[in-house]
């Protein structure tokens, strides 16, 4: 697998710890918004030291074949992270699956960038890791993500009750999956 791919408008890269400043700026702009949908330590997420540690962790697990995260940039602005997609808990053999998640900078939403990036990376990761199934969790009120998942060919499997503790309460999530029958 390469560390850089491109689409019509985007460059998608696997970043190294030296790029922690780029990721930190992404979180500084969006951490509070992201915290609505996932557990984030708002103080840590905005520090270069923390983001460097996360990128080191991601590199280690990428080399082990159990995770990959792409950060995406507009081709016209190659040093500003506008989104990310991660494929984690990659399982091989009889399970042949992974979980995926994504985030978009709030200033770049509803422009088709996330669909463009996910269309490429989902197919790429399914092929490269010979995955049969990719799945995602999404909060029922996150209608934008639900629409995106369905546009990408994911189907709702059911409701997972009280899955993640956010903002002082346990939150339900829908489970969505996509099957790749040729893998």
User: Kind of pairing, strands 97-104 and 77-91?
Assistant: antiparallel
Mean pLDDT along residues 46-54: 94
| pLDDT tens profile 20-38 | 999 999 999 998 888 888 8
The pLDDT value recorded for residue 40 is 81
Sheet with 4-6: list strands edge to edge.
Answer: 4-6, 10-13, 67-74, 77-91, 97-104, 133-138, 169-179, 155-166
Residue 41 has pLDDT above 90, yes or no: no
pTM over 0.75: yes
Q: What is the mean pLDDT of residues 135-156?
A: 96
Q: How many helices (H) and strands (E) does the chain have?
A: 5, 8
d(CA 71, CA 168): 30
CA distances from 101 to 27, 83, 148 (A): 16, 11, 12
Q: Is the pLDDT of residue 183 over 70?
A: no
Domains of the chain from N-terminus onward: 4-133 (3.40.630.30)
Instruction: Name the H helices within the chain.
Output: 20-34, 42-45, 48-63, 113-128, 143-151
Nearest of 27, 10, 19 to residue 58 by alpha carbon = 19
Unique residue bearing structure tokens 């808990």: 89
Q: What is the widest separation between alpha-carbon atoms in the chain?
A: 44
pLDDT in tens, 84-135: 999 999 999 999 999 999 999 999 999 999 999 999 999 999 999 999 999 9
Percent of the residues in the chain that have a pLDDT greater than 90, as a whole number? 87
């Amino acid at each position: 697998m390469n560390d850089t791919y491109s689409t019509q408008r985007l460059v998608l890269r696997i970043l190294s710890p030296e790029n922690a400043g780029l990721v930190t700026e992404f979180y500084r702009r969006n951490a509070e918004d992201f915290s609505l949908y996932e557990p984030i330590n708002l103080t840590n997420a905005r520090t270069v030291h923390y983001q460097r540690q996360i990128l080191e962790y991601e590199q280690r697990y990428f080399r082990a074949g159990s995770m990959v995260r792409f950060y995406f940039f507009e081709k016209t602005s190659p040093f500003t992270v506008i989104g990310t997609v991660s494929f984690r808990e990659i399982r091989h053999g009889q399970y042949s699956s992974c979980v995926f998640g994504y985030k978009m900078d709030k200033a770049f939403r509803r422009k088709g960038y996330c669909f463009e990036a996910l269309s490429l990376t989902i197919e790429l990761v399914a092929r490269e890791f010979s995955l049969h199934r990719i799945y995602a969790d999404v909060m029922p009120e996150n209608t934008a993500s639900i629409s995106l998942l369905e546009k990408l060919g994911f189907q709702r499997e059911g409701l997972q009750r009280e899955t993640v503790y956010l903002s002082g309460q346990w939150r339900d999530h829908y489970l969505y999956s996509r099957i790749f029958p040729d893998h």
